[in-house]
Structures are given as C-alpha cells and as structure tokens.
Amino acid sequence: MQPRKIIDAGEISPGMNGSHKSQPFSEVGGSRCLPGTFAVIMVLIGILSFTSVARKAHAQHSDEVTIQGNVLNQAGNSISDASVRLERKGVLEPVETKTNAAGAFTFTDLPTGQYLLSVEKSGQRSPATTILALTKGDRNIIDLILEVPGDIHLNSTGSSPALPQAIQFSDKPNFTIAGVVDWTAVGGHGSDSALRTSEDLARETLTLKAESSRSNGSGPQDSAKKTNESERKLIVARANAPGSFEANHQLGEYYFHAGRAQDSIPLLLAAYQINPAMDGNAYDLALAYKEAGDFSRAREQVEKLQAHNDSADLHRLMGELDEKLGDPLAAVREHQQAVHLDPSEQNYFEWGSELLLHRAVWQAVEVFRDGTKAYPKSSRMLTALGTSLFAGALYDEAALRLCDASDLDPSDSEPYVFMGQIEIAVPTRLPCIEQKLARFVRDQPENPLANYLYAMAVWKRREQPADKRALEQVEVLLTKAVTIDSNCADAYLQLGILYSSQRSYEKAIDFYRKAIKADPELAEAHYRLGVAYDRTDEPTKAKQEFALHDEIEKKQAAAVESQRREIKQFLVVLQGQSTNAPAQ
C-alpha cells in the first residue's frame, strides 16, 4: 500500500470538499438510512404505468359497496356534467348520475355483484368497464376516459383552453435521437460526487409514483379472509364454466391485480383464445407477461393489439418493453409517439425519463419544461425537471424546482429526498433547500431520513467549524435519526465525523464501528475509522481499515462502470445538424 497522508477529520467538511466525501446516496447500494426505499437499481419506467384503469381499496366503515371515480378527457382534464351509467348483472334497471364540476361521481350503498360502468356526453359513449365487487365494504375507484368529438381538451367547466406549446413540440421536436454511444468514458459537469448523484437520481426518477397508494381500512386477518373468499368464488365460477370468457378473464384479472402475474397468464390467455377481440383482456395479458418477466411474449402481444388499435397506451407499453429488451433507441421513439397521440402527464413524464436515463440531459430538460407548463400541479414532473437541471449543472435552478415540487404536496417525501441528495453532492449551499428540509422534519419528526438530511443541510450552512449552536443542532438531529432507525449508517458516520472534528476520537471510533455494522460496504466509514485509529496510535488497525476502504472503493468503481456499460448514452442530433455532427 502506498503511504497516505492522514488528514484530520476536522479538516474535511462532510459532503463538501476533499477526496473522501460523505456520499450517502451516490454509492451503488443507495441510501443506508432506509434500506431498499431509494435503492439505486435499474427499474423500468413501467413501474409508473397504470396496470389498468380500475384501482381498488377497501372502505373503513361501510358494509356496502361503493363505486366512485372521475371522468377525464385524453389530456387528463376533468369533464363535468357527464352522464355515468352503472348496470348490475341480472338487474334490468341501471342507475345513473352526473359528474360534478370536478368531474367526480359516486355510487354508494350497492350490493355485491358484477357491474358495468360507462359514461356519455355530447353523444359520445365510452366502452363499458367491468367491475367485480364480491366483498362487502369494497370501495372501487375508477377513472373513465372519454373523448369528446371536436374538443378532446374540454376542461371541467366545458371551456376549451389553449393547447400547450408542448403538443407542438411533441409533433416536431427540435432534436432527433440518432443512435447510442458508450457511456463508460463519461465526462460531465461538476465533481465525481455530483456526477454519480446525477446518475443515481436519473434512475430514482423512474420510481416516482403517479399517485399515492390508498390505505386499506381492514386489518390483515380481515383482508386475507375477504381475499380468500373472493378467490374461492371466482374459482368456483370458472369450474362451472371452463369455456366461458368471463370466468377465465375475471379470475385472471383477480390474480393479476393481486400481484400473481404468473398465475394470471394461463387464465387471461384462455380468455384471449376464446375471444381475441376483447382488447382489455388482450392488453392485460401483455401486462401479465411483462410483470412475469417474459418481455418478448409481452411485446408480441402488444404488436397484435397495435395491428388494429394504434393508441398511446400501447406505444408507452411498447417503449417499456423495448427498454427491458435492450433497445433504448426504439423505446424513446415509442415514448415520443405516445406523447404525439396523447400529451398526458404520464406520457410526458415517461418520455422525459427515458431521455434522462440515457443522458440526453438537455432534451430531457426541454421535455420536462413543456410537461410542467402543461401540468403545473404535477409534483413528479417538477421533481424530474429538477433532476434534469442538476444533471446539467444548473444547481440553483434545480433546487428551486425541487422546492416547488415539495410545496405542491408537503406530505410527499420524495422531493425532499431528491433535494437533500443534491444539497449533499455539491460544494455550495443551494437556495431554499434548508428551509424546506426544516419543514420536512417539522411535518415528519419521526422520519429518520428527514432528520438526517436536515442535519446535513444545517452542517453545511455553518460559517466556521466553531459554530457551536449549529453543531449542537446537527448532533441532536443525527442522534434522533439513529434512535429512530438503528440501521441508519449514514447518520452514524456523520456523528463520527462530528466527534472527530472535536478531537473526541474514542466517541468517533464507536460511531464509525456502528456505521460499518449497519453497512459493511460503507467505504468512507472504513477510511474515517482508519484516520481515528491513526490518531489514537493504533497503526495496525488503521492499516486494516485503509485496506478495506481501498478494496470497497475498487469494487464500487467497477459496479459504477458496469452500470454505465448497461446504460447507453443517446446520440442527439439537433435541427440543422448532420447525423455525423457531435451531440450537443
């Protein structure tokens, strides 16, 4: 091992300067405060896709079935005063209601059974959606999409707003994705810490959810009992009519929405063979293949659907499958076509995310800017825009957009986590972030990540190492983080750095050891522990820790290079450029 200069821990501000920075989110393993929550993994944009229009949750107090939802046009705007019709199988008289000014409707106090739901306005009627409500207390939440002839962009008041510029952009973008190039010889803006954080955030952007999950009001045992009863009824129905499209389809749908994609495939396939004209079943079969990991069969199924139904949903799904099958060039074109056919929030988001993932940074910025103009209340769109701006080294503007995203829904943790990561990665203080992270702690005081991120922001703010009040606040926040979550390795590491800066090496050693116990692959903890051992005159232990640090760093650098080999960079050609010109 080469002799190394031992740097006193107090000389390096955490997450700021020096070659051994605290990078709590830039390592391959992701955040160590909440394992698995923000892991840096290769995920499909398909995580964001709605697996079907229907979404179910259980009511907390009602013993009867409730069916409610919203009527939207293809741009995602609410449609008021639409007639919503509900028919129960075996009952002659349907029931009807009107959507309110926000496009919402509700049917309450319904008996269990099978229902057909449809909507009509201006002479245009949507296809009927089948709803299976077999358990008392079910609350079925449905979004119905209705295309109104001559004006598909009606808003909730019935007026026709001006089309956003983004729709023109989707028709004729000022760039072309001409190919892919190797990303291993990566350059980039800013430090390696900022670059790695940018790559990680690009992947984490794909995991942003379109909507918060709905809570289930039933206890675990009650829920399991209802689930088993529903499954039993569906199995009996299919046993009585094995050649029935509905019997196979309903049981297949049940398994698919229960997360049992592999079990759903034979049933959805049987229903497809009985009646291949039912596009809803055929689409769900493609989704089941995708969820089961059979991407080639899923793609074949989508191609069959596209032969007679060219829709944005099919292009979006095809894009997800092309990405999984290792063809990002085809994927980005499918996502662009999806926006062309339907400039919805989801389609904009996924097109921009595909560009960002493959390092077409400025093109992703442009798409997300247009997306935020069209959907200014979309928190995930603003978060993604902030991530793209950060990747382009526009750090201050990135911070502002992430702060805007957190203001839209202060209870949503994700914008705070993103802003916390970029605050740690760059050497200068960014606008508005500390204030927003203070709110994060105030609103979620028992969230260990909130305490950790705010502590890092406060520590970065201090003007001098002797800023006693700031250091005391940092110590309180970090201590609370590890008290709430004993596996919060990053907070243990920062407590060690804090005590090292005060020359309290014995305390620092204890916290470094705890950090390593929580995450043995935390390279900086080994390095810092080696420094502390050197300061306490234990050179043999110091040498061991330095060796472990170097081994982990080498392994993690190899993992980063492997990730970069998997993610090909898009070759972008701007308008007026030849295809041989370098990308901008």
Domain with CATH 2.60.40.1120 in the chain: 53-159
Is residue 85 over pLDDT 60?
Answer: yes
Is residue 312 over pLDDT 80?
Answer: yes
Q: What is the mean pLDDT of residues 469-485?
A: 94
Q: What whole-number distance in Å separates Cα of residue 386 and Cα of residue 368?
A: 9
Is residue 80 over pLDDT 50?
Answer: yes
Closest CA to 248 of 225, 223, 282, 224: 282
* CB-based contact 375:76 (threshold 8 Å): yes
Q: In the structure, what pLDDT confidence band is assigned to residue 310 with cuts at 50, 70 and 90?
A: confident
Report how far apart, in Å, the C-alpha atoms of 120 and of each of 84, 96, 123, 149, 582 are.
6, 11, 7, 12, 52
Least confident of 180-189, 223-232, 394-403: 180-189
Least confident of 299-313, 401-415, 456-470: 456-470
| DSSP per-residue letters across 126-177 | PPPEEEEE-STTEEEEEEEE-PPTT-TT--TTS--PPPPHHHHHHHS-SEEE
Burial 500-517, CB ≥16 within 10 A → b, else e: bbeeebebbbbbbebbbe
Is residue 395 over pLDDT 50?
Answer: yes
| Single-letter code of the amino acid located at 340 | H
Q: In the structure, what pLDDT confidence band is assigned to residue 463 with cuts at 50, 70 and 90?
A: low
Residue of 313 and 26 predicted with greater confidence: 313
Q: What is the mean pLDDT of residues 239-263?
A: 94
Residue of 181 and 491 predicted with greater confidence: 491
Q: Which CATH superfamily is domain 231-309 in?
A: Tetratricopeptide repeat domain (1.25.40.10)
Per the prediction, the chain carries an average pLDDT of: 78
pLDDT value for 151 = 38
pLDDT > 90: percent of the chain: 50
Is residue 155 over pLDDT 50?
Answer: no
The model carries a pTM of: 0.68
φ, ψ of residue 147 to 5 degrees: the values are -95, 115
Helices and strands, number each (H, E), in the chain: 21, 11
Q: What whole-number distance in Å separates Cα of residue 86 and Cα of residue 118?
A: 7
Is residue 1 over pLDDT 60?
Answer: no
pLDDT value for 498 = 94
Q: Which CATH superfamily is domain 9-47+173-205+401-573 in?
A: Tetratricopeptide repeat domain (1.25.40.10)
Q: What is the mean pLDDT of residues 36-56?
A: 30
Q: Which residues contact 153 (CB under 8 A, 6 or more apart)?
A: 73, 75, 77, 160, 161, 163
CB atoms within 10 A of CB 59: 18
Q: What is the mean pLDDT of residues 44-67?
A: 41
Half-sphere exposure of 458 (CA within 13 A, CB side): 23
Residue of 194 and 371 predicted with greater confidence: 371
Closest CA to 403 of 390, 363, 393: 390
Residue 78: DSSP 8-state: B
pLDDT value for 337 = 93
* CB-based contact 284:254 (threshold 8 Å): no
- E strand spans, 387-529: none
Q: What is the mean pLDDT of residues 534-559?
A: 94
pLDDT value for 192 = 63
Q: What whole-number distance in Å separates Cα of residue 306 and Cα of residue 319?
A: 13
* CB-based contact 284:317 (threshold 8 Å): no
pLDDT value for 204 = 82
Least confident of 34-48, 262-276, 410-424, 502-516: 34-48
Express each pLDDT in 263-288 by its tens digit. Answer: 999 999 999 999 999 999 999 999 99
pLDDT value for 195 = 76
We find that the CATH architecture of domain 53-159 is Sandwich (2.60)
pLDDT value for 173 = 72
Q: Are strands 569-574 and 175-181 parallel, antiparallel or unpaired?
A: antiparallel
pLDDT value for 380 = 93
Is residue 481 over pLDDT 90?
Answer: yes
* CB-based contact 499:511 (threshold 8 Å): yes
Closest CA to 206 of 356, 52, 364: 356
Is residue 519 over pLDDT 60?
Answer: yes
Residue of 160 and 300 predicted with greater confidence: 300
Q: What is the mean pLDDT of residues 92-97?
A: 82
Q: What is the mean pLDDT of residues 501-510?
A: 94
| DSSP per-residue letters across 177-243 | EEEEE--TT---SS-HHHHHHHHHHHHHHTT--SSPPPP--S-HHHHHHHHHHHHHHHHHHHHH-TT
Q: What is the mean pLDDT of residues 100-127?
A: 81
Is residue 70 over pLDDT 90?
Answer: no
Is residue 536 over pLDDT 90?
Answer: yes
Is residue 152 over pLDDT 60?
Answer: no
Least confident of 20-34, 98-112, 347-361: 20-34
* CB-based contact 464:428 (threshold 8 Å): no
Q: In the structure, what pLDDT confidence band is assigned to residue 181 with cuts at 50, 70 and 90?
A: confident
Q: What whole-number distance in Å separates Cα of residue 449 and Cα of residue 420?
A: 9
| Top-confidence range, 135-139, 187-191, 209-213, 269-273 | 269-273
